[in-house]
A and B are shown apart, each in its own frame.
Chain A
Amino acid sequence: MGCLMRWYKFQSQQDFDVWHEALKKQLGYPLPSYDINGNLVGEPYTTDYTSVVKIAENDFRTIIDQEYAQGLTPCDAPEIKDEREIINPQS
């Protein structure tokens, strides 16, 4: 925590899945769950490190801590789609 988060690009879902599964194994996922006092509780709720967004064919993007980004290709964040009609616009 506290690391800089950045977006990175993969060529395919399979490329992302292979990289993600290797990282999860390295980091010990699924992560255990703790209460406010640091005591282990219940089932592990945290099953994945990150997820991927498909932008286009050959363009799959994910956001991760930079410390895990060795060998990955940085890219821009996906653009926010804003295809709205405005009702009651404020002047």
Chain B
Amino acid sequence: MNILGITASQSGAAGGLPVSGAVLWLDASDSTTFTFSSGTRVSEWRDKSGNGYHFTQATSTYQPDRSATQNSKDAVKMRVGAQGYFMRNTAVNFFSSAFTVLTVIQPKTGNYTAYFGQDSTGYMQLGQDSANPSVLSISRIGQATASSNLTLANNTTNQITFKSTAGVSGGSLTVQIYKSKTAASSTQTLGSTASQAVSMIGGSISASAPLIADVYGDGGYLCELIIYQSALSDTNRELVEQYLIDKWGV
């Protein structure tokens, strides 16, 4: 089956994902994709998609720890104490056109949590509402948020998907959010948006907007993040979601 140029296969596409064509694939369970500065402290998390969109962090105090466990697999913690741990890639703008972002994450709902986004005030991020962190939302960093009806419980691992049919287009971004294959009751839209070729997982700190995006919460962790540069069909989206749900025991 070929939908929107994405080929689906129940038996598994090349590279191990059930749907081929991923532009980014960060898999915390694959030890060969990590470089460490010491112990479990991660300096590079390499992209398994073949595109080379690796995420790096050159400053020790911001490097995450590959020290969490989910379903007997290693996961990456993005916060310890008051520190904003994060990793960054500056090679591509994943929000410039249609996208599907699929992830497995255990956030802490008491924190302002960004799963994936960009790193400046006014740019986009996907995650939880900073004012009501149990609610899945999209945000224009430091300026606006659009919240869904989907909620999270604290200390639970979740499979979350964000899908957009156009990316940031005409100064606007519309996203459909899913939790374990269940769609939010409506799409979320933000205007006055911009996007850039700077992506991050975790949080960031800048002089103009300290802690513009907080991290996964004290003890929260990221298991896997997959991006397709297209709006996956429902069939293909659910194939990848089920792969993530089964793999990480969600």
Contacts and interface: CB of A to CB of B under 8 A. Distances in A.
A7 B40 CA distance: 23
Given A5-B82, A7-B82, A45-B37, A90 B135 contact: yes
Given A45-B37, A85-B143, A54 B207 contact: yes
Given A36-B34, A80-B210, A84-B131, A51 B59 contact: yes
Interface stretch (B144-152, B162-170, B226-234): B144-152
Nearest to A46: B37
Given A55-B210, A78-B211, A33 B44 contact: yes
Could you say which interface size class chain A belongs to?
35 or more
A69 interface: no
A82 B131 CA distance: 9
A85 B139 CA distance: 10
B183 interface: no
Given A36-B32, A53-B210, A88-B147, A81 B142 contact: yes
B91 interface: no
Nearest to A34: B36
B241 interface: no
Interface residues of B, number: 53
B125 to A, nearest CB: 12
Contacts, number: 131
A5 B81 contact: yes
A33 B38 CA distance: 8
Given A34-B36, A35-B35, A45-B43, A87 B145 contact: yes
Which of A42, A55, A87 is most buried by chain B, counting CB atoms within 10 A of its CB?
Answer: A87
Q: When A and B form their complex, which 3 residue pairs have the shortest distance between CB atoms, in order from nearest?
A: A78-B210, A45-B43, A36-B31
29 contacts: A1-B38, A1-B40, A4-B81, A5-B83, A7-B82, A31-B43, A33-B36, A34-B38, A35-B35, A46-B37, A46-B58, A46-B60, A48-B60, A49-B61, A51-B59, A51-B62, A51-B205, A53-B205, A63-B61, A63-B82, A81-B212, A82-B142, A84-B131, A84-B143, A87-B147, A87-B190, A88-B146, A88-B147, A90-B151
